[in-house]
Chains A and B, each alone.
Chain A
């Protein structure tokens, strides 16, 4: 049976963990366009409905995946966005229909949201999801009776197994009916307030919706903080109505609570009629597994082991793939070299563009592996358990339990770590996590540590006969980063990002075997977003940096001379007085400018700046951080006053401290920009971290000099 063609917009709403995203992917073939809602950090996902079989024709239908939320009362940016999309903001008309995904095993909470959608008098279809799980937890529901009560289609589905899809799509494509009015509820006072406001809006304002839901929203919300667009008339009417309620005993707070309780009363009566639970507790398998996984000792052991595996994957297993990509880029570069005469264009293509593209692609193995692990943990249900176990420890230092994995991954590389911060639900906690992630000493800093250690600490005798000084120094640097991170988190929580601590309300889903298809689709989506959105910024910055280090041109110059003559070189010289109190000179100055591309670039840049000729470098891999040639070149730069190398152990320490604390990575910068959807946070982070680094290095060098240590 064919349905008439019409261009439809259908919103998909539902609780987080209700299987909404799985349903979205099943309906759209996982081909979402992902962007951001303007002005907020919430992701925008839309895609076209795909034709699943010849029998069910699909009209032109766009599905809008609303952020997962428990309610539309705008307690979080996600809920605010969902509400605003439903009333027709963000340059799109209100959706023609809303499909509310309800996890049948948690029907009350899911229907709470559905009730609010019905209050808004939108055409609603309820997709009763997880029907495959229902019998296993002893839940039986009479979908038809529920449909009769609510007056809307109720379609049992199982998004995981893609069952019930055709019935759902058929219901979605039915012509839009006139919405059913929803009766005011909540007791005589509430009903009166709703009716009065409705009347006011009808008289004075023709634009703002006047459904029961809209009126309740106006009565209950903090109108000053919400970003919903209201006409002055509507705002006036709402504020007046709120003032009236405030006069009643308990004020607005009691009113709001009353409404929530009234909703659950309606739902309880409803569910008593349609829902049967034969078990009064959780899924047996989940309970059994949790006996181990949430056990203080057993659980912690499993957790530590899982984290070790995850970390090993991101840190080590990604290496062969990274090498593959780097080799590929090198081959391409030499091919281009072959075909083009040396000169500006060749340099732009090879050192600017290709290097930039390489800079982007080289992150993919780590991102893919991290998100593979993260998605497996999330889909199986283990992630909530991990957050449960770490929450107390993380909260001690002002962080959220779910921030553990993003921060741990940042020890390998901050780019995937910051992307993983999206698992932290609260906006404030997410921002703190993103802000402190670069303090975790990433693997790119290691070459810098190795350089310094081999230059000035190599000769130091081992402590207690076997602990190498180098090992201690590296550990100390990791600790320094950790301390800085915790201190910054504390600072943020007490100043810029101050707000009441959101309750830890972690959903503990039933354990399920992740579906590989879904996991891979999610990994692919993240990689694509990274390449297309973050990657363009990284590429732009790469080319910019190349420009800074290549212009103005010097004819017939060695790489060292060109470098010095360039804008970057001049900057290096200009900031010398600024960085001298840190113990740095212009060589390092240029290194700092160049290593904004990536921290490990410091090594090769120093190689160039100290004018090492090519014969001493391995063409394939460039100069090694612990190369004796580089070390000798650095140490041969003598201070005329003392006759000893400028690069003393103190200077080395100062340099390492600087690298621990500074934001010296344009890819991190670009990632923060994409994940926070603004330039404000990455710029703030850059200024803050580099200021901290400067002051710390200054302290190290000045105090060390004063005490006469390490010079």
Chain B
């Protein structure tokens, strides 16, 4: 298990939990980052921020501070 921002580019993973508390965490859940959801890290910006993530048919960009709070279980290649 690792945080989303530590994943390799192009890797698929299953979301385990959203550590972000409060409103922000709920917002992430509402955008589809629920436990058990499959997601993929597509790309990073310059200096690793923001991150481009594919989840439930949508491509979203997340800031690194949020990505750190998403705990995932990467799938083996």
Contacts and interface: CB of A to CB of B under 8 A. Distances in A.
A and B interact = yes
A502 B32 CA distance: 16
A89 B65 CA distance: 37
Given A70-B30, A109-B32, A384 B57 contact: no
Q: Closest 9 interchain pairs by CB?
A: A508-B59, A506-B61, A108-B56, A504-B63, A260-B29, A296-B46, A106-B57, A503-B66, A106-B58
Nearest to A277: B57
A253 B65 CA distance: 21
Given A109-B58, A139-B57, A391-B50, A503 B35 contact: no
Nearest to A105: B57
Interface of B: 18, 21-32, 34-35, 37, 40, 42-43, 45-47, 49-50, 52, 54, 56-63, 66
A106 B56 CA distance: 7
A691 to B, nearest CB: 34
A112 B31 CA distance: 9
Nearest to A295: B43
9 contacts: A75-B30, A253-B21, A282-B59, A391-B45, A500-B24, A504-B62, A505-B61, A508-B52, A508-B59
Given A264-B34, A294-B52, A504 B61 contact: yes
A139 B50 CA distance: 28
Most B CB atoms within 10 A — which of A73, A112, A384, A506? A506
A555 to B, nearest CB: 67
Given A281-B40, A296-B46, A388-B61, A502 B31 contact: no
Contacts of A277: 57
Given A70-B31, A503-B63, A503-B66, A388 B25 contact: no
A261 B29 contact: yes
A295 to B, nearest CB: 9
Given A261-B29, A392-B50, A502 B59 contact: no
Contacts of B18: 257
Contacts of B43: 290, 294
Contact of A260 (B30, B61, B66): B30
B26 A257 contact: yes
A389 B45 contact: yes
A503 B30 contact: no
B52 A261 contact: no
Nearest to A286: B59
Contacts of B42: 282
Contacts of B54: 281-282
A112 B40 CA distance: 21
A507 B31 CA distance: 10
Given A500-B23, A508-B59, 5 more contacts: A73-B26, A105-B57, A108-B32, A300-B46, A504-B61
A595 B22 CA distance: 49
Nearest to B28: A503
A446 interface: no
Contacts of A507: 58-60
Q: Which of B25, B31, B40 has the most CB of A within 10 A?
A: B31
Contacts of A503: 24, 27-28, 62-63, 66
A281 B58 CA distance: 9
A30 B5 CA distance: 43
B65 to A, nearest CB: 8
A387 B50 CA distance: 10
A71 interface: yes
Nearest to A113: B30
Contacts of B56: 106, 108-109
B73 to A, nearest CB: 17
Given A109-B56, A257-B29, A282-B54, A505 B62 contact: yes
Interface string A504-524: 111111000000000000000
A384 B61 contact: yes
Contacts of A296: 45-46
B61 to A, nearest CB: 4
A392 B44 CA distance: 11
A606 to B, nearest CB: 47
A76 to B, nearest CB: 9
A264 B21 CA distance: 19
Nearest to B47: A392
A71 B27 CA distance: 9
Contacts of B52: 294, 388, 508
Contacts of B66: 503-504
Interface in A364-415: 384, 387-389, 391-392, 395
A349 interface: no
Interface string A260-300: 11001000000000000100011000000010001010001
A256 interface: yes
B63 A388 contact: no
A61 interface: no
A108 B34 CA distance: 12
Nearest to A290: B43
A529 interface: no
B22 A260 contact: no
Given A257-B25, A388-B45, A500-B24, A71 B60 contact: no
A105 B54 CA distance: 13
Contacts of A150: none
Interface in A311-339: none
A112 to B, nearest CB: 7
Contacts of A73: 26, 30
B50 A504 contact: yes
